[in-house]
């Protein structure tokens, strides 16, 4: 029997075939794509396990809702006591964790699924590390005290900066921290002390944070002198010089103070950050509830921008500058809020965009490095992470789905990598 098909029947068959094809394409896409846009690493300081180690909670961020969910193997031991700071390598393949009570930096290799694998542990140059920052060639570590026999919590001294040069990664070997090299001259120390001169020469300088300019030319440290009730920013240009050490010629990283004495900044600077153009530096003042902005001049010298200071919430604790869009965000630890600002690309001046609620006592803040569409805070007393969707056109924040997200106790630091390490969004 011969069958006849009219045009409508043909249309139905074509439509059905298209649906089948679309279904197959969708199924294939589901096998090759994921909604995870970033992995976020949250250090939690309260001791856990037989070794009293802190832990690293690993969250994946959903690209559609911003929901943060811990990966199945999370949390991971921090391999040290009281982790307080984190940084990721420039290639997004390594996480460096500062464990304060052990004076150690632990390097983890990051798997493609976000999991952490301990790789190396090195002692810091000074005592009690409190901040770390990395670029392509170096890991910079800020220590509470210099490595002197007289320095301890009972008898404190001023802080210092140490540097771990990073080896070049290969297809089979990750970057590795290099230790023991001088950073001032061929015969110098392997750390740079933070000091004052004149009448304040014996005052104790307590560091609080550091930032590296995106172009790698300079590094800045926020600190305060409790004796004089004065804050400072120390600036250093970053260079390199050849040295012969143990008969071998090597290039060492050098930190050279910028011209002039340390810059007086407020009363108690608590955090510092810089913009992606390496033009502006912002400092949060814990004691005065505001943010101070500075322009970077020749030689790394900082000059105060017009409009200083810019009001924040009470006891600002952390600050981040968006690396793709002109926004600045500050956590206010007493208020449990985030202050949002836009900044002028021509002057650096801040304009308030609003204030948003977080968990109790936010102490760290980050922005997703893949799309700059999500922001998160680590809340020390809340034992959780607050997530926000960030409007890339307005800078305003909206709570992510199901925020806040539980973490282990007393989170202290956040760091993040793009999924698949591309920095280009969903892969």
Condensed to tens digits (0 to 9), the pLDDT of residues 42-61 reads 999 988 777 889 999 999 99
d(CA 2, CA 178): 82
What pLDDT does 33 receive?
52
Q: What is the gyration radius of the CA atoms in the chain, in angstroms?
A: 24
Residue 247: band (very low, low, confident or very high) from pLDDT cuts 50, 70, 90? confident
As a whole-number percent, the residues of the chain with pLDDT over 70 amount to: 90
**Which of residues 300 and 11 earns the better pLDDT score?**
300
Condensed to tens digits (0 to 9), the pLDDT of residues 267-292 reads 999 999 999 999 999 999 999 999 99
What pLDDT does 142 receive?
98
Sole residue written with tokens 């944070």: 209
Q: Is 374 helix (H, G, I), strand (E, B) or coil?
A: strand
What pLDDT does 150 receive?
87
As a whole-number percent, the residues of the chain with pLDDT over 90 amount to: 79
Residue 98 contacts residue 81 (beta carbons within 8 Å):
no
Condensed to tens digits (0 to 9), the pLDDT of residues 361-391 reads 999 999 999 999 999 999 999 999 999 999 9
Quickly list DSSP for 14-65: HHHHHHHHHHHHHHHHHHH--SEEEEEEEEEEEEETTTTEEEEEEEEEETTT
Residue 425: band (very low, low, confident or very high) from pLDDT cuts 50, 70, 90? very low
Residue 106, φ and ψ in degrees, nearest 5: -105, 130
**Which of residues 364 and 5 earns the better pLDDT score?**
364
Output the CA angle 333-336-342, nearest 5 degrees.
85
Residue 20, φ and ψ in degrees, nearest 5: -60, -45
Residue 337: band (very low, low, confident or very high) from pLDDT cuts 50, 70, 90? very high
Examine the pLDDT at 37 and tell me if it is beyond 80.
Answer: yes
Residue 81 contacts residue 47 (beta carbons within 8 Å):
yes
Q: Is 180 helix (H, G, I), strand (E, B) or coil?
A: coil
For 69, 244, 355, the CA distances from 232, given in Å and listed in that order, are 39, 35, 27
Examine the pLDDT at 14 and tell me if it is beyond 50.
Answer: no
Of 269, 199, 273, 285, nearest to 233 by C-alpha is 269
| Out of 6-20, 129-143, 202-216, 267-281, least confident range | 6-20
| Out of 27-41, 174-188, 204-218, 238-252, least confident range | 27-41
- Please state whether 299 falls in left (phi above 0), alpha (psi between -120 and 50) or beta: left
Output the CA angle 86-239-107, nearest 5 degrees.
25
pTM for the structure as a whole: 0.90
Q: Is 9 helix (H, G, I), strand (E, B) or coil?
A: helix
What pLDDT does 421 receive?
58
Output the CA angle 54-56-60, nearest 5 degrees.
165
Range 157-181 average pLDDT: 91
The alpha carbon torsion through 305, 231, 322, 325 (nearest 10 deg) reads -10
What pLDDT does 1 receive?
43
Range 193-201 average pLDDT: 93
**Which of residues 156 and 13 earns the better pLDDT score?**
156
What pLDDT does 51 receive?
80
What pLDDT does 184 receive?
77
What pLDDT does 123 receive?
96
CATH superfamily of 36-421: YVTN repeat-like/Quinoprotein amine dehydrogenase (2.130.10.10)
Taking CB atoms within 8 Å and a gap of at least 24, the contacts of 376-380 are: 376/40, 376/61, 376/68, 376/414, 377/318, 377/331, 377/338, 377/414, 378/42, 378/43, 378/407, 378/411, 378/412, 378/413, 378/414, 379/336, 379/404, 379/411, 380/333, 380/410, 380/411, 380/412
Sole residue written with tokens 């007289």: 150
Residue 78 contacts residue 97 (beta carbons within 8 Å):
yes
Examine the pLDDT at 15 and tell me if it is beyond 80.
Answer: no
Output the CA angle 240-262-201, nearest 5 degrees.
110
């Amino acid at each position: 029997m011969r069958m006849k098909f009219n045009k409508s029947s043909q249309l139905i068959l074509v439509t059905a075939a298209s649906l089948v094809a679309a279904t197959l394409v969708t199924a294939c896409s589901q096998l090759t794509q994921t909604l995870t846009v970033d992995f976020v690493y949250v250090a939690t300081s309260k001791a856990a396990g037989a070794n009293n180690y802190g832990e690293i909670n690993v969250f994946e961020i959903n690209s559609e809702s911003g929901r943060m969910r811990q990966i199945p193997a999370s949390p991971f031991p921090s391999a040290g006591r009281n982790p307080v700071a984190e940084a990721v390598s420039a290639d997004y393949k390594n996480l460096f964790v500062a464990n304060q009570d052990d004076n150690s930096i632990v390097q983890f290799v990051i798997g493609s699924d976000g999991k952490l694998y301990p790789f190396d542990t090195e002692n810091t140059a000074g005592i009690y590390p409190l901040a770390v920052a990395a670029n392509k060639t170096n890991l910079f570590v800020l220590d509470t005290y210099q490595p002197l026999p007289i320095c301890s919590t009972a008898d404190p001294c001023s802080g210092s900066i140490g540097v771990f040069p990073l080896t070049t990664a290969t297809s089979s070997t990750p970057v590795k921290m290099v230790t023991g090299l001088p950073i001032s001259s061929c015969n110098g120390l392997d750390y740079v002390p933070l000091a004052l001169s004149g009448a304040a020469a014996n005052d104790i300088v307590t560091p609080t944070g550091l930032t590296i300019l995106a172009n790698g030319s300079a590094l800045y440290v926020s600190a305060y002198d409790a004796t004089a009730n004065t804050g400072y920013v120390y600036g250093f240009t970053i260079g390199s010089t050849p040295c012969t050490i143990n008969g071998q010629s090597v290039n060492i990283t050098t930190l050279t103070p910028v011209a002039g004495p340390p810059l007086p900044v407020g009363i108690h600077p608590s955090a510092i950050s810089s913009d992606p153009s390496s033009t502006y530096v912002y400092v949060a003042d814990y004691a005065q509830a505001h943010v101070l902005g500075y322009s970077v001049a020749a030689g790394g010298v900082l000059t105060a921008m017009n409009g200083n200071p810019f009001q924040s919430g009470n006891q600002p604790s952390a600050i981040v500058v968006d690396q793709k869009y002109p926004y600045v965000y500050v956590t206010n630890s007493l208020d449990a809020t985030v202050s949002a600002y836009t900044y002028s690309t021509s002057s650096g001046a801040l304009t308030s965009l609003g204030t948003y609620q977080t968990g109790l006592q936010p102490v760290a803040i980050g922005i997703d490095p893949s799309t700059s569409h999500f922001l998160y805070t680590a809340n020390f007393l809340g034992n959780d992470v607050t997530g926000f969707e960030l409007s890339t056109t307005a800078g305003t924040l909206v709570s992510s789905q199901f925020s806040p997200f539980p973490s282990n106790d007393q989170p202290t630091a956040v760091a993040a990598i793009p999924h698949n390490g591309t920095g280009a969004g969903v892969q």
